[in-house]
Chains A and B, each alone.
Chain A
Amino acid sequence: MSAKTTLFYKHHLACGAKMMSFYDWLLPAYYSGGTVAEHLYTRESCGVFDVSHMAEIELKGSGALRYLDVLVPSDITSLVDGKGCYSCFLGHDGGIIDDVIIYRICEDHFLICANASRGERVYGWLKDFCQNPSTEYTALVKGDCEVFNVSDDYLQLAIQGPCSREALRRILDGEELTTAQSLPYSAIMALPSYALPDGSRMAFLARTGYTGELGYELYVPATQQIADQLWHGLLPRGVNKEPAGGVWCVGLSARNSLRLESCFLLYGSDMDESTHPYQVGLGWLVSKEKTNFIGSQSLRAYRDNLLVPQTVLQNKHVAFLMLSAGIPRQGMDIWNHHEGGFVIGQVSSGGYLPSLKSSGGMARLQVSAVKDHQIWICRRSGDKKRLAAKIIKKPFYSSKVRES
């Protein structure tokens, strides 16, 4: 099967992108400026990311809210129209099926942004449940709820960085621009100017992102004309870097280092279906009031120390900063001593952190075996040399993204 490309593909090539495979997709890893320059530009100005590979799923119907309330561990009923929240879907065993952003357009219409690699899985999971809810939940769900996989119908661009509010001027105007520029954190609005004229597909702008900066995510109908209009509108100089305060195209590699600095998790690296929310620091997603949602029994058993081996309970999800020169990468063993000792976990995601001019990562570690926050990383199996690192408080980097 040949790799899928987005409608921005020709623009990526024109901007000198190094393309990389990512699940079924061929996507820009970085452009001619390189990962570090793109990362730093996003932190100080504004980066534009083609994230059209992300999956979009819609829930529609009079019962959409009630169905969703059973499907997620978080308190989705307090989400108001025009707001989004970070959440996850759990299997019956409490394992994370995917972490997602759920936007409430209105009570009978939700837009879900899922990971590219998990779109089909999430769609199947939601569809199966909505068509045929298991008996223990039938009393909780009322009304109808239809599930639509609209991943191929939407393009998604992320516009991220302290100057992203100003960058909206390049693609919006009039009242739409005014509303967009005053959009609060995590809110979503319709963009009639980018909707299809026949009304078959809407367009949305949300103040969400994966970089830890002020930023927006744009969901627009997947047409070549809209793709061209947005790319040229946002990046009139193509790959040529604008002075500070401008806009630049940024690839997936910097998207990864930006999210890592903010300690945002990456599905497939930091978690998978064998991971509970509590194991990766996502316990805050689990509502204390809600008792009956898919996975709730397993989570309660986990929380109450039932049926879970002590070694698993001792594991904590942590961030660590390298003290030695060297980049931690997924799968590397982490030791509790510079020589001897034993392996206390593996790096779940790691990399160079350009804003800190240092390297770091995240891991699930047996922290009871760690003394003074000191850990050591073995770069290659068989290497005698272990690189020193220390466990730090998350995140590595934080901006006042919510307040601004």
Chain B
Amino acid sequence: MSGSDRLLFSKNHEWVTGTSGEVLVGVSAHAVEQLGDVIYIELPEKGDEFSAGDTFGTIESTKTVSDLYTPISGQVIAVNEDIQSDPSGLQEDPYLDGWLIKLHCSEDDSEPLMTAQEYDDYIKGH
């Protein structure tokens, strides 16, 4: 899982990474692989606020449409417009250029998260 070592993963297959109150949120390579060709990504507006566990957008592939959940509370300070206009980038790299939103988080109230290794074991068990 190159590129995912410093990330933490949720059971909903999102990842987060960040420091000093700024957190990037994306979806895991495993989730992208399961989805097949991703066609549309619907993301929130800058300034929108979410609590941990909220839906912040949708990801739609040739197969299905899925909700995106944020594992941590915060306010959107940036959205990845490149990935929104061309979601094929997500298949190439879901971890670096494939981030979806950047949140400003005032507190760390995230749901329990997994390391890359723990997440690997988790998806193997499902």
Contact = CB atoms under 8 A, between A and B. Distances in A.
A186 to B, nearest CB: 30
A39 to B, nearest CB: 9
B65 A35 contact: no
A325 interface: yes
A18 to B, nearest CB: 8
B33 to A, nearest CB: 9
Interface centre among A29, A327, A379 (most CB of B within 10 A): A327
A327 B37 contact: no
Given A325-B42, A327-B65, A34 B37 contact: yes
A365 to B, nearest CB: 22
Contacts of B91: 34
B37 A326 contact: no
Contacts of A246: none
A327 B39 contact: yes
Contacts of A29: 36
B60 A253 contact: no
Interface in B22-40: 36-37, 39-40
B62 interface: yes
Interface in A12-50: 18, 29-30, 34-36
Nearest to A358: B39
A6 interface: no
Interface residues of A, number: 16
A224 to B, nearest CB: 30
Interface residues of B, number: 10
Contacts of B37: 34-36, 352
Contacts of A95: none
B62 A379 contact: no
Contacts, number: 33
B40 A326 contact: yes
Interface string B36-74: 110110100000000000000000101101000000000
B62 A352 contact: yes
Given A34-B36, A35-B36, A36-B37, A351 B62 contact: yes
Contacts of A349: none
Interface in A261-277: none
Interface of A: 18, 29-30, 34-36, 253, 257, 325-327, 351-352, 359, 379-380
Query: Lowest 3 A-B CB distances belong to which pairs?
Result: A325-B40, A36-B37, A35-B62
Given A253-B62, A327-B40, A351-B62, 20 more contacts: A18-B36, A29-B36, A30-B36, A34-B37, A34-B91, A35-B36, A35-B62, A36-B37, A36-B62, A253-B36, A253-B63, A257-B62, A325-B60, A326-B65, A327-B39, A352-B37, A352-B39, A352-B62, A359-B39, A380-B65
Interface of B: 36-37, 39-40, 42, 60, 62-63, 65, 91
18 contacts: A29-B36, A30-B36, A34-B37, A35-B36, A35-B37, A35-B62, A36-B62, A253-B36, A253-B63, A325-B40, A325-B42, A325-B60, A327-B39, A327-B40, A351-B62, A359-B39, A379-B65, A380-B65
